[in-house]
Amino acid sequence: MRPPSGSTRLAAVIGDPVRHSLSPLLHNTAFAALDLDWVYVALEVAPGGAAAALDAMRTLGIAGLSVTMPHKEAVAAACDELTEEAAALRAANCVVNDGGRLIGHNTDGDGFLAALAAELDLDPAGRRCVVLGAGGAARSIALALARAGAGEVAVVNRTASRAHEVAALLGPVGRVVGPDDLASVMAGAELIVNATSLGMG
Q: Which among 27, 71, 72, 139 is annotated as catalytic?
A: 72
- Write down the pLDDT at residue 189: 96
Average pLDDT over residues 40-62: 97
CB 125, CB 188: distance < 8 Å: no
Average pLDDT over residues 36-55: 97
3-state secondary structure of 102: strand
Q: Cα 156 to chain center, whole Å?
A: 18
Return d(Cα 29, Cα 171) in angstroms, integer.
41
Return d(Cα 85, Cα 169) in angstroms, integer.
12
Q: Residue 149 pLDDT > 70, yes or no?
A: yes
Helix (H) or strand (E) holding 98: strand 94-98
Q: Is 108 annotated in the active site?
A: no
Q: Catalogue all structural domains in the chain, each as residue range(s) with its CATH number.
A: 9-106 (3.40.50.10860), 113-194 (3.40.50.720)
CB 41, CB 70: distance < 8 Å: no
Q: Residue 200 pLDDT > 60, yes or no?
A: no
- Strand order of the sheet with strand 81-82? 38-44, 9-15, 64-67, 94-98, 101-105, 81-82
Segment 64-89, tens digit of pLDDT:
999 998 999 999 999 999 999 899 89
**Mean pLDDT score across all residues of the chain:** 94
Pick the closest to residue 145 from 191, 187, 87, 183 (CA basis): 191
Measured N-to-C along each axis, helices 160-168 and 136-147 cross at an angle, to the nearest 10 degrees, of 40
CB 73, CB 51: distance < 8 Å: no
Query: What does pTM read for this prediction?
Result: 0.79
CB 87, CB 120: distance < 8 Å: no
